[in-house]
Amino acid sequence: MADWDHTPDIHREDRLGFDEAVFCLQKRPDQLRRILADADERGRTLLLTRLSAEQLAPLPTSYRERIDYDNLSHTGLFGSIQAPASAARVATVSAGTSDAGVAAEAVRTLRYYGEACHEIQDVGVAGLWRLLERIDEIRRLPVIIVVAGMDAALPSVLGGLVPGAVIAVPVSTGYGVAAEGRTALNAALTSCAPGLVVVNIDNGYGAACAALRMLRSLRPTEPTEGGNMPHG
Amino acid sequence: MADWDHTPDIHREDRLGFDEAVFCLQKRPDQLRRILADADERGRTLLLTRLSAEQLAPLPTSYRERIDYDNLSHTGLFGSIQAPASAARVATVSAGTSDAGVAAEAVRTLRYYGEACHEIQDVGVAGLWRLLERIDEIRRLPVIIVVAGMDAALPSVLGGLVPGAVIAVPVSTGYGVAAEGRTALNAALTSCAPGLVVVNIDNGYGAACAALRMLRSLRPTEPTEGGNMPHG
Amino acid sequence: MADWDHTPDIHREDRLGFDEAVFCLQKRPDQLRRILADADERGRTLLLTRLSAEQLAPLPTSYRERIDYDNLSHTGLFGSIQAPASAARVATVSAGTSDAGVAAEAVRTLRYYGEACHEIQDVGVAGLWRLLERIDEIRRLPVIIVVAGMDAALPSVLGGLVPGAVIAVPVSTGYGVAAEGRTALNAALTSCAPGLVVVNIDNGYGAACAALRMLRSLRPTEPTEGGNMPHG
Amino acid sequence: MADWDHTPDIHREDRLGFDEAVFCLQKRPDQLRRILADADERGRTLLLTRLSAEQLAPLPTSYRERIDYDNLSHTGLFGSIQAPASAARVATVSAGTSDAGVAAEAVRTLRYYGEACHEIQDVGVAGLWRLLERIDEIRRLPVIIVVAGMDAALPSVLGGLVPGAVIAVPVSTGYGVAAEGRTALNAALTSCAPGLVVVNIDNGYGAACAALRMLRSLRPTEPTEGGNMPHG
Amino acid sequence: MADWDHTPDIHREDRLGFDEAVFCLQKRPDQLRRILADADERGRTLLLTRLSAEQLAPLPTSYRERIDYDNLSHTGLFGSIQAPASAARVATVSAGTSDAGVAAEAVRTLRYYGEACHEIQDVGVAGLWRLLERIDEIRRLPVIIVVAGMDAALPSVLGGLVPGAVIAVPVSTGYGVAAEGRTALNAALTSCAPGLVVVNIDNGYGAACAALRMLRSLRPTEPTEGGNMPHG
Amino acid sequence: MADWDHTPDIHREDRLGFDEAVFCLQKRPDQLRRILADADERGRTLLLTRLSAEQLAPLPTSYRERIDYDNLSHTGLFGSIQAPASAARVATVSAGTSDAGVAAEAVRTLRYYGEACHEIQDVGVAGLWRLLERIDEIRRLPVIIVVAGMDAALPSVLGGLVPGAVIAVPVSTGYGVAAEGRTALNAALTSCAPGLVVVNIDNGYGAACAALRMLRSLRPTEPTEGGNMPHG
Amino acid sequence: MADWDHTPDIHREDRLGFDEAVFCLQKRPDQLRRILADADERGRTLLLTRLSAEQLAPLPTSYRERIDYDNLSHTGLFGSIQAPASAARVATVSAGTSDAGVAAEAVRTLRYYGEACHEIQDVGVAGLWRLLERIDEIRRLPVIIVVAGMDAALPSVLGGLVPGAVIAVPVSTGYGVAAEGRTALNAALTSCAPGLVVVNIDNGYGAACAALRMLRSLRPTEPTEGGNMPHG
Amino acid sequence: MADWDHTPDIHREDRLGFDEAVFCLQKRPDQLRRILADADERGRTLLLTRLSAEQLAPLPTSYRERIDYDNLSHTGLFGSIQAPASAARVATVSAGTSDAGVAAEAVRTLRYYGEACHEIQDVGVAGLWRLLERIDEIRRLPVIIVVAGMDAALPSVLGGLVPGAVIAVPVSTGYGVAAEGRTALNAALTSCAPGLVVVNIDNGYGAACAALRMLRSLRPTEPTEGGNMPHG
C-alpha cells in the first residue's frame, strides 16, 4: 500500500534542453537508491541537489563512488560529466561568506550542463571598492548570477553597472527582519535598477537553469571590444 | 525651499544599453512638464510609464501632441520612435482579460526600444486547449514574457513546454487571497518548471527590460528547423 | 491535579456518518494507551493519524499487534477494518514524490471507512504529458483529491479538465516563498478553474472526510459511456 | 496596438458540465459590450458576476433589458434561464446581514445552472438557538454552502451537526484582525469539524460551482427517512 | 563583565495585589538558583512558569524538594501555598487534549494565588452536545477562562451562552494555517459574541492574572437562583 | 429573490444580560429602516454602532428624532435610555487625540446600558507626568478601559500601576508599521504587565461589553480607603 | 459628552530639548483651530506635520497668514521661526523624485528647530556615478539622513562610505512587493553597512528629531582636514 | 571547486572609523581559522560576534588563548584591546533578564572600540519605580542604547524622559505574537516618543556601531550642570 511510484519526466531534455534534476531534500534512502538504479540502468547522468552528507553515506558504494559530491553546495554529480566546451559565459557574483553555498549550487548546475562559470566572491556593497575593482571583468560576460542575502543591495548596484542579463538569487542568511531571505527577495524584486530578474530564495539551481535557457536560445554577441565601463 | 532637483541618469544608455524611463505614478504636472522640457531641449525621446490620462491632460499641447499615448498600458512614447528592425524575438503570453494591461506595458516598452513583439492573449490554463493550440508558435521565440494573476499556473505550464527564457510577470488581479498579486508572485517563484525568472507584480516594463538585456548581450540562435514540440 | 479528561465524541458516527479519528501529534504515550484501551473495551476500531514510529514503539504489544501501521502516511488502523465494498469512486492525484505522504493519508482514511481509491502519482505539470496520458482515467471518477505543493499548478490544470468534484490538498514542501505550503494553499484558493474546493495544508485526512461526506450524501451517477475528454 | 483579444473557453461546458462565467470586476464597458454581442450572436446565455450597477447602466438597452440583474449579489443573468427542474438539493446558510450578498451570489449561480436553493439566513452562533431551531431542515440536504465572516465559527458548528458536504465561504466583513476575511478563511480551514472544504474569500460563485460538480457527478441518495438529528 | 543584575519588582504585590512570577523559559540554571536563593532568604513563595523538567533537575535538592512541580503545565510552586479559601469562582473550559497544558497553567496560577478552579475539558464544538450538557454548570461561575486552538470556535459559542466575564486563551496547536495559534487568536478577537477578551497565545498565566484582577477589584454577585440557561 | 431576512437574537438579553447592538457599517438604508421599525414595533431601545452621518440622513424623521447621535463615536442611541444608577465604576483612559473616537464608543455603549464612565484623555506615555498626575484617580475604579494606538505603551505602563481589571483597546491610528493597529494590538497582547486583556482593534464597543460582563457577574468591592498608589 | 480634552505635553522642551509637534493627519478643523488658539494665547510657535492644503483652507485668516506652509512636505510653521545660527550640520540625501516629500519633512523640521540642512537629491544607486560625484560633500557632515523607497539600496551604499551617523528613512513609494515601504524598511534594518539606524516609514519628522537629539547632546568634532574619502 | 575566497574590507577603518567585525553565525571551523590566521599575520585585533562555545572549542589553542570570550553576549575579542580612554559616554538600559545577552553584545562591541559603557538592567516598565529611580543617572549620558523585547514599552517611556540620542534594540524574547521580536521592533518604530532610532532585532552590535558613529563625528557637550530631570 502507498507504494511509491517513480515517473521521471523523461522527455524533459527534448522539450527544454536539459534533463530533470533530483531535489533530494526529504527524500528517503530507498527513494534515492531507486532513482540512482533507474539512472544507472538507462546509462544516464544525474544532477542531485540539496543532497546532505547524511543522505549520501548509506548509499551503496558502487553508486557513492560515481557521485562527485561537493560539501559547500550540497550537490552531487552522478556519472561522467563532460568538461565545458567553451570559456565562461556566466559569472556568479556573491556578497559574503554566507552566500557562497548558494552561488556554488549555481556553479555546479552549470558545470553539470557543460557551462564554465566565472566566480567572484565577497564583493558586498558595504565595501564598495571590492566590487568596483572587478566591474570590468563582470561586464564582459552576457549573463550574471548575483547572490546576496540581508538587504540584497548588491543586485541593485550591479544591475546599474552591467548591461548583461542579471539574475538575482536572494539568500536566507541573517536574522531578525532578514526573515529567512524574504527581505532580500523583496529588495531584489523592487530594485531600482531596470530589468533584473529574480528566482526563489536560495535557488542557485534555478538561476543556473535560467542562464541555460538564455544560452541555449540565444548566442553571445561578440564582446564589446574595449568593454570597459563608460565613465559614470 | 524644498525645491525639486532633477538629475536624470544620463549615462545609463552607455552603461546598460537603454536609457532611463520616466515612472509617472504620483509625479505632479510641474514635474512631468520639466522632465519633458529637459528631454525636448536635449532632443531625446522618452518612455513614460504609469502615465494616467488625468496626468496627460494638463500638459502643454506641444508636448501632448508628440506623445503616443496608449490607454490600456498607460504608457506614452515621447518623440519619434524607430520601427522595429527585425521580426519579433519576444512573445508576450497572457492568461486573461485582466492581464492585458500589464502585457501591453511590456509590448510598448519593447516597441520603444525597437523590438517587435508577438502577442498571445487569453490562454489561461483553465481552458488548456487554447494554450496547446498555440504552443508551437510560442516555442519558436527565444524569450517569452508570461503575464498571469491569481494562481499564476500559466508560467508553470508554459515553463515546462518551451525551451526559451521565460520571464513571469505576476498580476495584481483577483480578490481575497489573490492578495494583490502576492499569490501569483509566490507561485511563479516556486514553480516546478525549472529556470523561470520573475519580476515584481504588474511590472511589464521590468520584464521588457530584462528581455532587452538578453537580446543585447546574446543573439538568437537559428530557429530549430521544424521547431515543433517533441512528443510529450 | 490537572488530570487529563477524555471525552470522545461518541455520537459522531450517528451525526456525520463517520466516527472520530485520533490526531496523535503531540499526544503522550499514556494518552494514546488510554485511548486504545477505551476503544478496546468498547470493541471499536480506530483511525490514528500523525502517529510516529516513535509513538508506536512504547505501546503494549497487544495493542501494537492490532495496529496496521503505514510509515509513509504515518497512519495506524486499529482493529479489523472491512475491505471496500465497491470499486474506487475516488482518485488521488499527486504532483511529486514529496506529496506522496499526504496523498497516502487520504488513501488510508478512505480505506478505514471502506472506500477504495485509485492512486495516480508523479504527474506534476512541469512534465504535462504525464497528466494528459492519464486524464481519461481520472475523468471517470466522481471525486478527485489532488495533492500538490510549491505553486500548486496541478489543481488548476486538473480542475479545467475534469467534471467531478475536485478537492485540493496543498502540501508543505519546498523552501523560500513556498512558505510551508501557504503559497500552494493560496494558489489553490485563487485557481482560475471554477469550483475547486480546498482543505488545510497537508490535510489528507480532511480531504478524505470531505470525499466521504459527498459519497454518503450523494450517489455516483452512471459513468458517462465513453467518458473520454471531449476535444479541447 | 494592444488590441484586446477575446477567446472564451467555448469547450468548457463539454469538459466540466457548465460554461464560462464572466467576471466583470474591472472590465471596461467596451469589453462587456463585446462579450454580450458575442454571446448574442451565438445564441448563448451568460452569467455575469461582480457586475456593478455603474457597469450595467451604459450598456445598450437591447442588452440591458435581457439582463436579470440582482443588486444584492451583483450578478446578471443574460438570456432566458430555465427554471430549476427539481426541488432544492443545496442549502445556503449564512451568519449575518453582511454575509447576505455573498450567499446570494451562490444562489444566483445555482439558479443560472438550473438548481434551486434553500436559503437560511441570520443564524450566527452568537445566538445559537437560531441555528439549532433549523438544523433538521438543513440536515435533509446533501450539499450545504455556509457563508460566514469574522471568526467563522458557523462552519465549525454546522460541520459537526450535518452529514452532507459542507462548503465554507469566508466573507470579508469586519474590521481589525478580521483582515478582510483572512481570519474567517483560516478559521474555516482549521475547523475542528472534519471534512469541511473551503473556497476563496467572498467566492459565492466558486462555492456554487463546487456544488454543481458534486451534483453532476453524483446523485443525491434518498433522504434518510426521519432525517432528524440523532440525540447529541 | 556583563554580570547579571537581578532587580525583582518587590512592590508589585502592593500595587497590583499579586507578586511577580518567574518566567523560566531560556533562564539558565545559575539564574534560577539565584532567584530561588533570593526568595528563600526573604521567606517568600514563588510561582515558576514555563519551567522544564530539564531546568528543574540540576537545582539543589533543598530547593527542588520545596517545588511542587506539574509536568502538564510546566509550572512549579515554591514554598508553602495556602489552600483556596472559597469555592471555585473561575471555570477553565478547554476544547481538546492539546489545550490541556495551557488550561493547567491557568489553574495552577490561580491555585498559587489562593483561588480554586472548576475544570471542564474536551468540550470542543465539533461535538456540540458535550458543551451543551455542561453549560448550566459553567453559567454559574462569574469568570470563565476558555482555552482553544485551531479555529477557536469554542469561545464564540460559549460567549453567546454565558453572562460572565469570558477570557479567551488561544492555543498554538494544529498545523498549516493554524499558524501556531494566530488563527485562534484572530478568531477570538473577531468573535461575533460580544464582550470576549483575549490574552496572548498559550498565555494561561496571563488569563489567570486577569481573572485575579477581576476577583480582587470586584466581588461575585449572588448566583442567580435557578441559574439555568433561559430557553434559546 | 435574495430577500434579506432579519432574525434578531431576541433572547440575548436573557442569556447575557445585554441585548444585541446594531453594527451599521455597510448596512443599507432599507436594512436600517427595517431594523428600526422592528424595534419601534416591539417598543425596544437600540444601540447603533459605526453609524455614519451619511447613513443617518436618509432615515425617516420620526426615527431620526429619536436617535441620540454622537459624531465622535459614530454611535446612535434609539429610544429613551435610563440615566446611570450609580457613580462611575469604569474609567476610560486614552493616549492621544486620535484615540478619542474609540474611547467614546466605549463610553456611549456603557451609557446605553446604564453605566456612567470616568473619562481621562491625552495621557500618552511620551509625557509621562500627565499619567502620573492622575494615577490615583484611576486606581479607585475596578475596571479600566485603556485606549491607545501606535506602540500602545500606555496599557503596559498603566497595567503595572493599577490593580483593577485592565481592558486594552488597540487603535488603528498611525502610519507605516503602525499597520492599522496591528502593532498596538500585538504590543498589548505581549505586555510585560501581567493580566491585561485585549479586544479587537478599534473595538470600543467590545471593551464596554466586557466591562459589563464583569460588572454584572461581580460586584465592586469597597474602595480601599486611602486607595493611593503605594510607594514604588 | 465625549468632549475632546487637549493636554499638550508642555514640559517636553525642558525634558527633551524640543517642544511637541502637531501631527495633523485626521485632525478635524475644530481641533486644529483650538490647538492654534492655545499656542497663540501662550505666544508659542508650532510645527504642524501632515497638514493638507484641505485642512489649511478653512482655518481663520489670522492663523493662516502666520503659517509658513510647504506643499511638498505638507508641513506648516506657525509663528516666527529663527534663522539657523550655524552652517548645516545635517545632510539629507534622497534617492529619487518620490522621496522628495519625505526628505522635505526632515528639512522643515530641522529648520523649525534652527538647524540648516544640506540637501542632496536624485542620487539613487541605479546611476551610481551621481552619488560618487557628491560623496566627499556628504562625508563632511556629522549626521546624514538618507531617504529611500523600494529596495533602499542607497542607505547601504552610503553607510559603507561615510563615517558619520546615518539615519535611514524608508519611503512608501513603489508598488507590488515594495509593500508601502516595508521592503525599504526591512532592507535598511538588515543593511550590511554597520551602524545604520532606522525610523518608521515616511517619518522625515522623526529622523530630524533623532538628528536634533544627537546635535543637542553632542557637538560636532572639527571636520577632518582634507576630509575626502580615502581610497577604496 | 567552490573554493572559499576571503576578501576582508581592509579599508573600512579608514572610511568609517572602525574595522570589519566577524559575524560567526554559520561560519565553519576552517573559515574561522583562516580569518584568525589572516588577522594574526597582519597583527590585527578582531571582534567576533555570534560566536558559540561550540565554534570556539575546536580552534587551535594558540588562537583560543588570545580570545577574550564572553558567554552571555557570545562575543570574542581577539588580540589585545585597549582600555577605554574616557568615562562612559554611552548607557545600555535593558528591560529584563532575557535582554541581558543583547545588551552585553553592545557593551562588548563598545569595549572593543575603546568606549566604556554604563550598564543598567532589569528596569522594565511593569515596575516603573525601578526606571524612575535611575532616570537622572541615565539622563547624564549623551547616547542611550535601550534593549527590550515583547511590547518594547521601555524605549517609549525612556524616549519621553531623556534628551540624548536613544537607540532602541528590539529583542526576540517572548512567545505568541511577540513574533520573535517583530512586535518589539514595530512598537519601537511607532513609538510616540519623538526621535527614537531603531536597529534590527537582537542587533546589539549594530546599536554599538551607531553609537560609535555619533561619538566619532560629534563630541559630547558639557554635561548640563545639575542635569536632573525637570519637573514633569
Q: Residues C191-214: what's their mean pLDDT?
A: 97
For the segment G73-83, what is each residue's pLDDT rounded down to a tens digit?
999 999 999 89
Residues of A at the H interface, defined by Cβ within 8 angstroms: 70, 72-73, 97-98, 100, 103-104, 107-108, 111, 119, 121-123, 126-127, 129-130, 173, 175-178
Q: Residues B20-43: what's their mean pLDDT?
A: 91
For the segment D172-182, what is each residue's pLDDT rounded down to a tens digit?
999 999 999 99
The rounded distance, in Å, linking the Cα atoms of B165 and B153 is 17
**Could you tell me which chain C residue has the CA closest to the CA of E103?**
C2
**Chain H residues in contact with G18 (beta carbon < 8 A):** 194
Q: Indicate yes or no: CB of G156 within 8 angstroms of CB of A160.
A: no
Secondary structure element (H or E) that encloses residue E117, with its range: strand E117-120
Chains H and C touch (3+ CB pairs under 8 A): no
What was the pLDDT predicted at F7? 77
What was the pLDDT predicted at G26? 84
**Chain A residues in contact with G189 (beta carbon < 8 A):** 176-177
The DSSP bridge pattern shows strands G143-149 and G165-171 to be: parallel
pLDDT of residue A97 exceeding 50: yes
pLDDT of residue B7 exceeding 80: no
For the segment C144-170, what is each residue's pLDDT rounded down to a tens digit?
999 999 999 999 999 999 999 999 999
Residue written as cell 478563511? D185
What was the pLDDT predicted at F2? 42
Could you tell me if B87 and B115 are in contact, meaning their C-beta atoms sit under 8 angstroms apart?
no
Cα angle B187, B188, B194 (rounded to 5 degrees) comes to 120
What was the pLDDT predicted at C84? 92
Assign C5 a pLDDT band (cuts: 50, 70, 90). Answer: low
Assign C222 a pLDDT band (cuts: 50, 70, 90). Answer: very low
Closest CA to F115 of F142, F134, F135, F149: F142
**Could you tell me which chain C residue has the CA closest to the CA of E173?**
C26
* Sheet of strand D67-70: strand arrangement: D22-23, D46-49, D75-78, D67-70
Closest CA to F121 of F133, F112, F109: F133
Q: Residues B23-27: what's their mean pLDDT?
A: 90
Grid coordinates in use for B200? 515584481
What are F76's strand-pairing partners? F48, F69
Residue written as cell 440536504? D141
User: pLDDT tens, position by position, for chain F (232 residues)?
Assistant: 445 567 778 788 888 888 889 999 888 888 899 999 999 999 999 999 999 999 999 999 999 999 999 999 999 999 999 899 889 999 999 998 889 999 999 999 999 999 999 999 999 998 899 999 999 999 999 999 999 999 999 999 999 999 999 999 999 999 999 999 999 999 999 999 999 999 999 999 999 999 999 999 887 654 444 445 554 4
For the segment G26-35, what is each residue's pLDDT rounded down to a tens digit?
888 888 999 9
What was the pLDDT predicted at D67? 97
Q: Residues B121-142: what's their mean pLDDT?
A: 93
Could you say which of B97, B100, B127 has the minimum Cβ distance to residue D12?
Answer: B127
Q: Residues D125-148: what's their mean pLDDT?
A: 94
pLDDT of residue H56 exceeding 90: yes
pLDDT of residue C103 exceeding 50: yes
Closest CA to A179 of H200, C46, C112, F7: H200
**Could you tell me which chain G residue has the CA closest to the CA of B181?**
G176
The rounded distance, in Å, linking the Cα atoms of C209 and C203 is 10
- CA E12 to mean position of chain CA atoms: 19
Q: Give the closest-approach CA distance of B25 to chain C in angstroms.
A: 28
For the segment D175-232, what is each residue's pLDDT rounded down to a tens digit?
999 999 999 999 999 999 999 999 999 999 999 999 999 999 887 654 444 445 554 4
What was the pLDDT predicted at A230? 53
Grid coordinates in use for G63? 492663523
Could you tell me if C157 and B187 are in contact, meaning their C-beta atoms sit under 8 angstroms apart?
no
Tell me what ipTM this predicted complex has. Answer: 0.93
What was the pLDDT predicted at A2? 42
Q: Which residues of chain E have pLDDT under 70?
A: 1-6, 220-232
Residues of E at the H interface, defined by Cβ within 8 angstroms: 1-2, 4-7, 9, 11-12, 20, 25-27, 31, 170, 172, 180-182, 185, 200-203
Q: Residues G103-127: what's their mean pLDDT?
A: 95
Assign G223 a pLDDT band (cuts: 50, 70, 90). Answer: very low
Could you say which of A95, A184, A192 has the minimum Cβ distance to residue G125?
Answer: A192
For the segment A144-201, what is each residue's pLDDT rounded down to a tens digit?
999 999 999 999 999 999 999 999 999 999 999 999 999 999 999 999 999 999 999 9
Could you tell me if G52 and G30 are in contact, meaning their C-beta atoms sit under 8 angstroms apart?
no
Could you say which of H21, H199, H215 has the minimum Cβ distance to residue G197?
Answer: H199
For the segment H75-119, what is each residue's pLDDT rounded down to a tens digit?
999 999 989 988 999 999 999 888 999 999 999 999 999 999 999
Residue H46: φ, ψ to 5°: -140, 145
Q: Give the closest-approach CA distance of H95 to chain F in angstroms.
A: 10
What was the pLDDT predicted at H5? 62
Average predicted confidence (pLDDT) for chain C: 90
pLDDT of residue G166 exceeding 70: yes
Q: Give the closest-approach CA distance of C224 to chain E in angstroms.
A: 37
Q: Is G21 exposed, middle or buried (0-12, 13-18, 19+ CB in 10 A)?
A: buried
Residue D232: how many CB atoms within 10 A of its CB? 15
Q: Residues B31-39: what's their mean pLDDT?
A: 93
The rounded distance, in Å, linking the Cα atoms of H154 and H128 is 9
Chains C and B touch (3+ CB pairs under 8 A): yes
DSSP string, chain A: ---------TTHHHHHSS---EE-TT--HHHHHHHHHHHHHHT--EEEES--HHHHTTS-HHHHTTEEEETTTTEEEESPPPPPSSS--EEEEE-SGGGHHHHHHHHHHHHHTT--EEEE----GGGTHHHHTTHHHHHTSSEEEEEEETT-HHHHHHHTT--SEEEEEEE--SSGGGGGGHHHHHHHHT-SSTT-EE--TT-HHHHHHHHHHHHHHEEEPPPPSS-PPPP-
In degrees to the nearest 10, what's the CA dihedral of A155, A161, A166, A167? Answer: -10
What was the pLDDT predicted at D223? 43
What was the pLDDT predicted at F190? 96
Q: Residues G106-131: what's their mean pLDDT?
A: 94
pLDDT of residue H222 exceeding 80: no
Q: Indicate yes or no: CB of B1 within 8 angstroms of CB of G107.
A: yes
Residues of chain G with pLDDT > 90, as a percent, come to 76
The rounded distance, in Å, linking the Cα atoms of A17 and A11 is 10
What was the pLDDT predicted at F11? 80
Residue A173: how many CB atoms within 10 A of its CB? 24
Q: Indicate yes or no: CB of H186 within 8 angstroms of CB of F191.
A: no
Q: Indicate yes or no: CB of F6 within 8 angstroms of CB of D122.
A: yes
**Chain C residues in contact with A26 (beta carbon < 8 A):** 98, 173
- CA D5 to mean position of chain CA atoms: 29
Closest CA to H169 of H205, H141, H222: H205
The rounded distance, in Å, linking the Cα atoms of G126 and A175 is 27
E148/D15: higher pLDDT = E148
The rounded distance, in Å, linking the Cα atoms of D47 and D19 is 9
- CA C123 to mean position of chain CA atoms: 18
pLDDT of residue A225 exceeding 70: no
Chains F and C touch (3+ CB pairs under 8 A): no
For the segment F25-41, what is each residue's pLDDT rounded down to a tens digit?
888 888 899 999 999 99
Could you tell me if B180 and B188 are in contact, meaning their C-beta atoms sit under 8 angstroms apart?
no
Average predicted confidence (pLDDT) for chain G: 90
Assign H3 a pLDDT band (cuts: 50, 70, 90). Answer: low
Closest CA to H150 of F152, E178, E168: F152
Residue G6: φ, ψ to 5°: -100, 110
What was the pLDDT predicted at C8? 76
Q: Indicate yes or no: CB of A127 within 8 angstroms of CB of H20.
A: yes
pLDDT of residue B189 exceeding 90: yes
What was the pLDDT predicted at D4? 57
DSSP string, chain D: ---------TTHHHHHSS---EE-TT--HHHHHHHHHHHHHHT--EEEES--HHHHTTS-HHHHTTEEEETTTTEEEESPPPPPSSS--EEEEE-SGGGHHHHHHHHHHHHHTT--EEEE----GGGHHHHHTTHHHHHTSSEEEEEEETT-HHHHHHHTT--SEEEEEEE--SSGGGGGGHHHHHHHHT-SSTT-EE--TT-HHHHHHHHHHHHHHEEEPPPPSS-PPPP-
What was the pLDDT predicted at D105? 98
Residues of chain C with pLDDT > 90, as a percent, come to 76
What was the pLDDT predicted at D3? 53
